[in-house]
Amino acid sequence: MDDDLIALVVSDAREHMAKAVEHTQAEFAAIRTGRATPALVEHLKVDYYGTETELRQMAGFSVPEARLLVVSPYDKSSLAAIEKAMQGSDLGITPSNDGSVIRLSFPVPTEQRRKELVKVVKQKAEEGRVGVRNARRSARHDLDAMQKGGELSSDELERVEKDLDKITQDQVAAIDRLLAHKEQELLEI
């Protein structure tokens, strides 16, 4: 019974840590590097007949060139609403509408802008690491409560905490690898 409970606590912590890493990766994908990627606009909310709808549910995306993103709405009547949502977003790019698709042409970011984006990415990475550590802290709290309740010996607690620390280190290392990759992507011209 106790082993099942311990495994459940560790499994829950591992799951929360993995979600923190996935969230960090999604945050990185939404940061513009000068390359066109659908991740920059797919979560954009569009007022579609009075309903806030994500753009990815309303349109298909293609990247014919490294710095060009083409948005093809499934319903051509939604073209104006999509264009308005893009202009109102913080993309900083003016969409061009040819009546059937919307084109977003991404300029090469300046060196100063790339350095600002690196700072933003580092902040997002730190938020991810904090999420991983919070999951570890929560699991340790549960394990400490189990030890105080007599369900867990101090030796067993120490062993499980070492496992938890290893999982935490692995997840933080994963975030660091994502950060290094994103930094490299941002700083290349």
CATH number of the structural domain spanning residue 20: 1.10.132.20
CA–chain centroid gap for 46, Å, is 21
Is residue 96 domain-shared with residue 115, that is, in the same domain? no
Same domain, 125 and 69: no
Point out the domain boundary residue: 105, 131, 154.
105
Please name the residues in contact with 20: beta carbons below 8 A apart, sequence gap of 6 or more. 128, 131, 132, 134, 135, 171, 175
Q: What is the pLDDT of residue 40?
A: 77
* Domain end among 87, 105, 123: 105
Q: Which structural domain, as residue segments, surrounds residue 75?
A: 38-105
Residue 2's pLDDT band, with cuts at 50, 70 and 90, is low
CATH classification of the domain holding 55: 3.30.1360.40
CB 164 within 8 A of CB 139: yes
pLDDT beyond 60 at 18:
yes
One domain, residues 135 and 166: yes
Same domain, 84 and 151: no
pLDDT tens track for 70-120: 999 998 888 888 888 888 877 777 888 888 889 988 777 788 878 888 888
Number of domains in the chain: 2
Contact 67, 37 (CB under 8 A): no
Tokens of 111: 């060196």
Q: What is the pLDDT of residue 175?
A: 95
